[in-house]
A = this chain, B = another copy of it.
Amino acid sequence: MRTTSVGVFKVATKGPGDVSGLISLIGSGAIDPASILAILGKTEGNGGVNDFTREYAVAALCTALAPKLDLTPHEVEQRIAFVMSGGTEGVLSPHITVFTRQQVATPHAGIAGKRLSIGMAQTRDFLPEELGRSAQITETARAVKAAMADAGISDAADVHFVQIKCPLLTSERVEAAAARGAKTATISAYSSMAYSRGASALGVAVALGEVASDISDDVVLRRYDLFSKVASTSSGIELMHNVVIVLGNSEGSASEFEIGHAVMDDAIDAAAVMSALKSVGLGTTPKSGRELVNILAKAEASPDGTVRGSRHTMLEDTDISSTRHARAAVGGLIAGLAGTSAVYVSGGAEHQGPAGGGPVAVIAHLP
């Protein structure tokens, strides 16, 4: 029996602090604020350590939603999962995607097949020295399974995108660890973002059976043949635990949406993007009435320094970080194939898809 319904709303923003679109949708009754489970956003920052647009966006959303939910801003932040991915390089357009979940009293008749479902869970807080290491992998795997259960999904094949928000190291955190005699995986804040994203993605891979469950610290950022096909991890300064959001399809959902995915083998894998579109009835000859809602993808500079045999310069650029380059390029490709630049392309795809590639998921609205 279909007991839940999941809604997806893509809302353009005019700046990281702009909440007017969401507030309008709440005002018009299109969104019941109490049903909001998660908000994924693309914000204008650099996506790096000093990207304050992420926390600014979250602060603005929490402040705006607080009176709607009769909570304090801090309580809103505890209740809703906010994942802000900084960096709208190239054509990428700042926006938020709001996911809602509600119980359905009387499901629509005539729903066939599995429909979009969403589940959430989180890990405990990590110590700085646990980031990028097996503790983060194991705890994340556990949270992924909990989120699948929350989404009413039992088959790993029905999981199409696992978004994780994970911590990073700052000078302060590195020193706090050092003061206890503990050595962090790296002393660089920027590098720690990669470690945290990588270990979190391996946690997804462990949970979904994509890799063996007994993997060690050593593989993080080294064994790029180990990866998840659906993990998307994003590190931010504002938390010390992992928040896991599972997106998939479920028989128990009465949603008007469906999700599918493919894996880009490299940063110019147009075929994979087309395949992901086709998996939900879109693509060159879309099924009648189906409409694209959003594309969720990860991008990275291939660590071997080449794309399909040609040298790239993303990893040797001291002016622009490689994550910015990768988002711009993959964003350009996906926007071109999707026909819209308001897509969610996030950087840093360590262990998320093969080296240099990444997962690409598509959410379609069904007629």
Contact = CB atoms under 8 A, between A and B. Distances in A.
Interface of A: 12, 14-17, 44-53, 55-56, 59-60, 63, 88-95, 170-172, 175, 187-191, 221, 267-270, 273, 303-305, 307-321, 324-326, 328-333, 335-337, 339-342
Contacts of A340: 268, 308-310
B53 A52 contact: yes
B91 A337 contact: no
Contact of A342 (B55, B91, B273, B310): B310
B336 A336 contact: yes
A316 B59 contact: no
Of the listed residues A12, A50, A95, A267, the one surrounded by the most CB atoms of chain B closer than 10 A to its CB is: A50
This chain: how many copies in the complex?
4
Contact of A45 (B49, B52, B312): B52
A191 B328 CA distance: 23
A115 B214 CA distance: 61
A329 B335 CA distance: 9
17 contacts: A44-B313, A45-B52, A51-B318, A59-B63, A88-B312, A89-B320, A94-B311, A189-B316, A268-B335, A268-B339, A268-B340, A270-B339, A308-B340, A310-B340, A318-B321, A328-B328, A330-B332
A270 B273 CA distance: 13
A15 B238 CA distance: 11
Nearest to A46: B318
A312 to B, nearest CB: 5
Contacts of A328: 89-90, 325, 328-329, 332
Given A45-B52, A325-B328, A341-B268, A91 B312 contact: yes
Contacts of A308: 339-341
A255 B341 CA distance: 40
B325 A89 contact: yes
Given A52-B56, A95-B310, 10 more contacts: A48-B317, A89-B325, A90-B332, A92-B312, A171-B303, A189-B315, A267-B335, A308-B341, A310-B341, A332-B332
A66 to B, nearest CB: 10
Contacts of A48: 317-319
A172 to B, nearest CB: 7
A37 to B, nearest CB: 25
Contacts of A190: 318
Contact of A316 (B92, B170, B305, B332): B170
A188 B191 contact: yes
